[in-house]
Structure 1
Amino acid sequence: MSEQLKIEDVELMDRIRSGDDIALKLIYKKYWNQLFSSAYNVLHDQQVCEDIIQEIFINLWNKRELIEIKVSLKSYLFASTRYEVYRQVRFSSVREDLFENIIERMESPSEYGNIEHRELLSQINSIVDKLSSKCRVVYKLSREEQLSHKEIASQLDISTKTVENHLNKALRQLRISLGLF
């Protein structure tokens, strides 16, 4: 992302924080298609994807005074979209074909550029490195090694409930640190 675009986004966020709804409309126009495509690439449901993106912009407006974006605005919006897509998949009854190649589709940086992708990954890795050692190990086994809760519990000689608690703690810390509430 060019330095000029980052500056534009920072200025737009400053305007949003001061209640300028035109700035929100500019950000909406700038990123809506990319965010929608990213969500649609996974969910293949136009209405659900439109709702997700709409909700992200509503939250951006409603929480404008509280949001602290520590990465680029673009990275923040894509992380928010990804989180909502994960949430949608987790809490809905979805078709099995949705899960075909889901890891590749969710991790594909092509939708938002390699620089933003690396920036976001760097931020996530920095946050993960600050977790307690056990929490960090559980998170990495889950996300990097793609082990199930049961496999992690067996490997670390802990209960599956403890694995769930560590993952919830890690994900909560990631959401807070990335400004995803």
Structure 2
Amino acid sequence: MDENQLIIHFQAGEEKAFKHIFNMFNNRLVFFTKGIVEDPDSAEDLVQDAFVKLWDKRLNFKDLTSIKAFLYISLKNVSRNAYKHDKVTQKYRSQLEEAIDDNPIFLKIVEAEVLEEVSKAIKELPEGCRNVINLSYFEGLSNQEVADQLNISINTVKTQKMRGLRALRNLLKEMAPALIILISKLN
């Protein structure tokens, strides 16, 4: 389904179109929001609330870019409020006045986008390579621990890590020009 049809179906209130949009943006929005509120459960709740608001205002959106902007801006605002509220409840009230300025917000957007792309790339790796990358880099296991857990040799672990990192490096090379342009617009 192309973007125009997706928007038409979304505006018409079709659940399938909404689910498609939700799946497109949910992971990156959760990454983004977790970076501000630091509580995974709160972050997921805030993202869910943003999608509810999106659904309520679905007739106002003409393209995916405006949907994406609405979601990020909504989450930036509610995340700021949640961040401030969390600081109020903490023992040291001096930290209350720390505000999240826009530059770190934009960097969190870039981080969320990059993490989503890396996550997609990892999902495309062959299963063995994907398992080694996840255990090594996301669960922090040593090569020996990965080998023991997967019941493979340590040389296989090293080979799979090398293949996975090479694939991820290629992805990042393709993304680099877009990231440079985005970061230059932030300054």
TM-score where L is the length of structure 2 = 0.48
Higher-helix-fraction structure: 2
- Where relative contact order (Cα < 8 A, 6+ residues apart) is larger, the structure is 1
Structure 1 length normalisation: TM-score?
0.49
